[in-house]
Structure 1
Amino acid sequence: MRSLPLNDCPQEISSLVTFYWEQFVQNCRDNNTTCNDLDRLPDSFWPDLVTVWGGSSYVAQQCCHHSDWLLALASEYDPQRQISTISVIPTLSTILADIEREDLVMEAIRQFRHRKMVDIIWRDLAKKASLVETTTALTRLAEECIDAGYHWCYQHFSKQWGTPVLQQTGQQGQPQHMVILGMGKLGAGELNLSSDIDLIFAYPQAGQTEGQQKVISNQEFFIRLGQKLISLLDANTKDGFAFRVDMRLRPYGQSGALVLNFDAMEQYYQDQGRDWERFAMIKARVVGGDKKAGEDLIARLKPFVFRRYVDFSAINALREMKQMISREVVRKGRQHNIKLGPGGIREVEFIVQAFQLIHGGRDSALQQKSVFKLLNVLAGQGYLPLAATEELENAYHFLRTLEHALQAWADQQTQDLPTNKTQQDRLAWSMGFVDWDSLVKALEKHRKKVSYHFSQMVAEPTEEHASDEALSCWQSLWQGQLNEDEAIHQLIDHHFQQPETILQRLQQLANGKSVRMMQRKGRQRLDTFMPMLLAAVIHQSDPSNTLLRVLPLVEGVLRRTAYLLLLIENPEALQQLLKLCAASPWIANIIARYPVLLDELLDVGSLYSPPDKETLADELRQQLARVPEDDIELQMETLRYFRMAHVLRVAASEVAGTLPLMKVSDYLTWIAEAVLEHVLFIALHYVQSRYGLPGGMEGEQVEFIVIAYGKLAGIELSYGSDLDLVFVYNAPHNKASSGPKEIDNSLYFMRLGQRMIHILTAQTPSGQLYDVDMRLRPSGASGLLVSTINAYAEYQADKAWTWEHQALVRARVVAGSPQLTDQFNGVRAQVLSQTRDQEKLKEEVISMRNKMRNNLATKETNGGRSDSAWLPEAKFNLKHDYGGIVDIEFMVQYMVLAWSHQYSDLLTYTDNIRILEELEKAGFLAPESANLLREAYKAYRSAAHRLVLQNQSGVVTGDFFHEYRQGVIALWQQLLGDTPSPVAHESGAD
């Protein structure tokens, strides 16, 4: 027998390993077992044996008692073998299949667990498996024991009391099984070496058993089964235990029934679920029993865990839980516990879980279970800086590795650092440190980093708000402790311009039915928030109007006060809210209607820095990639939130002055294009899942395009713009789709178009994406919703009116097939570049313009033609009056139709600014004329944008834009000659 390589290990480790080795050899001799096979093992096996036995008396003892386990492990020894591939013994269900006696089942489960544990701990301590591989293997071991034990119990009790069955229509008499939920580290798939397993039992439906003379209720059946399963796993026998089982996380805790049906479970969490139970349910996962029914249960409980809105109540719950744990740690003197103590494992888990509960309802990437995976998500999605997540990940890895080293020693559930010097030295050596002090120094470094990040997460926000004195002042007013005169004077002293109105609105809110009906926790949040709001709003230039714009938001979230908590917890977000509401009632209305947008105020950097076109498209792509393809409702909500959030960023940037007009329209257009691209993708997936591919196009790209007209095509979208769209396709006639349900190609693409419109226009809790106008399609509202490219080309060439060709000037493809896009561009160029009769063209353009003026221009000033139109008390419609936006657009369209047959570059662009540049370059417009039209067009649109943000129509007073209006009218007369020369007036404000 060869000697062990003990020269490099401490004396106490050397002595211990020598003792176990001698015992092992002696046991081999006593059992007439040969050890010769060990002599032929590779040299690398022996240092591993010293490392493992030196770090785990449990493994050494098991090997001594079961020498064949070590021999089996050694005979197939491959240092590079992954844990996940180890399967040298039969599955536990196979082992239990032929066992009838309960005591033998318990023995088999424990021996199976010991055998697997030797394998797992060996590779863990010998550093032949990563931490994730180890925790995954431990989780699989627990699941196998749970599920095999459950099925043995089910068969055992069914013979005695019958089979529990389903009662609902269509499923009567079908057997039903229990669902076993794993919680905590078991649910996360990150079980440690000697972990308790937290379980919750449930079953689908109430009813009773069938098939035996004596029947019992389904609940009684599963309660008895659950009790027996706990005993099989948890009871201490001569072979020890398999897994310690903790059932305290079930509804009502220890006082609750051991097993509840799904309806009772859902009702409990809906009515009585507490914050700490939300933290616990994050990791709930089906680990045994009926897996399919279990997934249904998880789906039913999901709304309790993950709220649809940003939920900062998790922070407050986290504080309370941490305070409770900290008190318990101090009371029991467990400050050196690496799980519960400061900077320990639990704090890392709390940080991750807080982000899950706050944002997980909207970001499905946060609905995972694994801490390691979630730390990567927090970094990748920008919830935490990369440096912070790296520090947390390194600390979590170190703490979990140390936890394993503590537990491997004697297979005990402990996270307390040893106080005995021998044990300290042994632990340091097992962790790869030269001495105990070195280990402690590394541990403290990690714990300090965890404590710092945790304290940042749960820091009380009050220090960043107004002083206690100021808050007390506004608290008295809000609580009605001041008489009316005192309250009015306080408001006047703080520059509220409408003190009586403000006081009345505050009293209406405080005494309203919605506030009186609030639960205690919600009312406490409101009473905390309102003084903060009043103390903060006085720093705005117009406190009265700003407050009046914010109060609808407060009233709108009285049943979802987590939004108030978000603002309480994030003073900077409150400041941004007030800043934006002060600048724009439109923004205030949007946030009040969709308070989920408050989440965007948390990151000031991104709020005022909208991403570029490529980043926008990529962001939406990533968000939708995390949504199941068949969850159309969540896809629609994701699209809507994406649009709202980015439109808010654009509006915020515009009112802050960081985005010029042209960039505002660019961003709003890019948002719409990104949305349309994915709406087409979602609609196409929906149609293909039902009807397959269009006939005659198997294996080829579906040739379908979305053509934009008007502002979208001209890259000139505003905040409230609808989308003028036309759908065109190319597919063989008289062919049927390839799916199980065949439909004609024309109907196929009709369904595709209808689906797109539904996704865009359907009203959901987040509103609709866009209003859609399809009237510019061939034959207008009476025409087909979707046209073939040939039919579209024929219509444009032979049947379209001149005004439809004007519209075609501003038309471009924004989504769909590149090949069909090229065909459309060819059709557009051919139609627009026809040689036209100039006089007839002028007549038709003027006729259409006059019709629009008669219907839409300002009646009181004859569309801006009368002398009074230039006076301050008059109104100038920026879009429809003489010298306005539409005049410029019609002139541009006229010039393209008149001269593009001579100069094809006029067809390159669809936006007016660049077309004007091409007209100037070609010599059709004098530089001063082109410049005037460009500047007037930008000035009008900029004013229109500002008016939208102030919730005002596109009308200014008559003393504005004199110079631009006169110049546009003069050019109109010069080009088209139907308007008398403008009356000379002094230039008004521009």
Structure 2
Amino acid sequence: MSEPVRHASPARFGLTEPRSEEVLRGLGLWADRRPTDGSEPVLAALSRSPDPDLALRGLERLHTVADWDALSAALHKDVVVRGRLLAALGSSTALSDFLVVNPDRWRSLTDEVDVSLELADDDVLRTEYRAKLLLVAANDLAHVVEPDLPFVPYDTVAAQLSDLAVSALRASLKLASERVNGAADRCRLAVIAMGKCGANELNYVSDVDVVFVAEGDLGVATRLASTMMQIAGQSCFEVDAALRPEGKAGALVRTLDGHASYYKKWARTWEFQALLKARPVAGDAELGQAYLDVVRPYVWTAAERENFVEDVQAMRRRVEDHVPSGLADRELKLGRGGLRDVEFAVQLLQLVHGRSDEDLRIQATTAALAVLGQGGYVGREDAAEFGRSYRFLRTLEHRLQLQRLLRTHLFPADDDVTALRWLARSAGLAADGQKSEGQVLLAEFRKHANQVRRLHEKLFYRPLLQSVAGVPTEALRLTTKEAVARLAALGYTSPDGALRHIQALTHGMSRRARIQGALLPVLLDLFAGTPDPDGGLLAYRKVSEALAETPWYLRLLRDEGAVVERLAVLLGTSRFVPDLLVRAPEVLRLLADTEALVGGDPHSIGKPLRSAVSRYGDPARAIAAARSLRRHELLRIAAADLLGFMPLDTVCVSLSEVWGSVLRSALDAAVRASGEPLAALAVIGMGRLGGHELGYSSDADVLFVCRPFEGVSDSEAAKWASGVVENIRRLLGAPSQDPPLLVDADLRPEGRQGPLVRTLDSYRAYYRQWAELWEKQALLRARFIAGDAALGAEFEALIEPLRYPPDGLDAASVREIRRIKARVDAERLPRGADPSTHTKLGRGGLADVEWTVQLLQLQHSGAVPGLRTPSTMAAMEAAVGAGLLAAEDAAELTAAWNLATQARNALMLVRGKASDQLPTSGRDLVAVASVMGYEPGGDPGEFVEEYRRTTRRARAVAERVFYGEGL
């Protein structure tokens, strides 16, 4: 026994409330600034309670109503009472309330757990039920407070709660029988437990699902059943008979034949799934067994029904869709990675495989998981891991419900430190030296939720497809049903369609079919781990059919495992990649070599492209060659990006260099085809092209400038140059299967109303007299791209004082640029767009960041040379270096700009078409989140929340810096 503490504070025992010492003194546990003699074990146990302050308040309340001398003696001497009572008081205000109203019930905490109920009347039943619930809960939690007491496994607790519910049903039925005035003998009634009670895995707070079957006088049986439900509902828990045939619209009580007729003719898929849990628990046992004998054959043939597996999966999706998006990652029961993920997966496997394996015909989820693992339907470690995660989540659910004895499945919010700490302690989790109890709980919760969500990737039985492809035609039908079920279980939303793709790829006895037969089991499993398994398989079929005559294609896939794995990720994530892959299959070879896929210096991309195009005199052929090489580079960049091998800045520079190379090559070809050149011609990149910030969906914003050769008039030069430029735009913009090549010159003086090409003198005259503030702002990103380098340099020198004004902006100009930005915010966001997730024009998106930086450039670039750059990020860095922008503010703006740029790219990669609006749900959101680096099995809503948080912070900076004073 430890030495008494001479001087201490109640805080040493986890007590934080100001009155703690006063309360302890009143309880006789504290005196002279230390625990009273012999009280240290009580206080130590109190400190281990999930909430010591709550437990102490409970003791204070009991002190006023209970035999405190006896209770205090028990707390000091009886470790069982101490552990159970302090655990209950520190875990549940509802159990504390019960003990205060029934102050002698603490004495029952010494008892063995016995859930049988004494009969007398409704009030006694209510009290006895709550007392038994207290005993089960206190025994469940005691190990947390007194570690030497036995740990009670989840399965035991769930079985005890189920047995208690069964006792309550039987007691309620007995009381109901006494109220029907002796008429109970005119019928036979059996009560069939369903759901968690039927499976012996009930919660602390739950409806108890039942079905009634009767013979004899159905009127009496109905009165008996409804009275039983009323008694149990008023005394113990709600009894729910909605799982009966026809649901709440159907008769409360049916005969055996009535049940059989319904399940034979009318029952829907989910009703057979519900029958998995059926168990007779009260009333006529013989009739209850007869009910099971009648309905079980329907359960174990249900998987043969048309669309059975699809229906089960659709029901799971519907359940998940009803979870509010803001709570999806906290919903223990219905959310992604929650309890329903486990239960639906296990039940689906039971219903599919239980037709032939009777060992799977059991009710409890954890027991069924064990059998699935033993039988090889699920890997042993997968089954064990899944079982551990399920038990962990169910334990959290139990603890949450105990707190107030209310039905809840909502995990605390990340920032609710108090709730997280309480829940962690009640679940037996401790701080680990680096993380607090709450942080440990959060990490464990996320780990288990992710493990649960990934189960579908492990359900597929690998030899299945080879078996399907190899069986004789006459035997294929049975195997097809099994294949469809397993594909659906694996995560394919259209397993019939998936099977058709498989059959098309493996049809016949050719060498190609045999190789595909060997590849597909691996690919199907890999596709199951991507955001869109169905889309991935369909794309694989299209690519395989298009490359059927390419001799090295299947060999490469067969011999290079990395290629198969990476191809599955690309096809199962992106609709941008497959069409490019069919037209640039050589990029497949690069998937085997990460270094080759990433490539070297992105600034050198254009050299081979320009060299190849220079061989063609015909501009159409030259542009076709440029398109082909661009296609190759686009696919290479997209693949490296999707696979996580290429950072964002390299992606943007690479895409910009590809566009610049295409423009240079197109200009060279068009000039060669124009005959004798009449002028020097230069292409000036604007916008993202000028800033080296292009995305996959970006057009090429440009200006065209010419300078007449000696002896050529300005008008002749402009006419010739315009013809060359129009030819370039026509050839690049011609319809094609490739992503479009749109050259946009709308930023030129006078916009679409102005000439497409101007001479340098014309630009000088226009900018001197007419240039508006927004045009000067647009010129911040101007950069020579193609054509005559000397002319390009002259143009840049011409616009230097416009975009980098030596004296900055006057107050009126600052007001004007702010006014323009406000109008853009108000008018340009598309109707119906969500400003919190619109990557370009939304709050804290690209426009907010870029306008903020550009205002700093316009105001200060005359004095700060580092601001004289078309790059947003480089200008931001210079602003920080010059003290114009706080490093913390720059970090927020940079994070938002990078995230919005990456998300915008991800949208194009996933959808295959340009978009600035993040999806709110569905496979596209899963895919975008995956491209952004989130785990495929995780909750994509986390990405959306991160995006909103990041851009919200950036918006706050933009509001302060852009609209603030001192610029």
TM above 0.5: no
TM-score by length of 1: 0.44
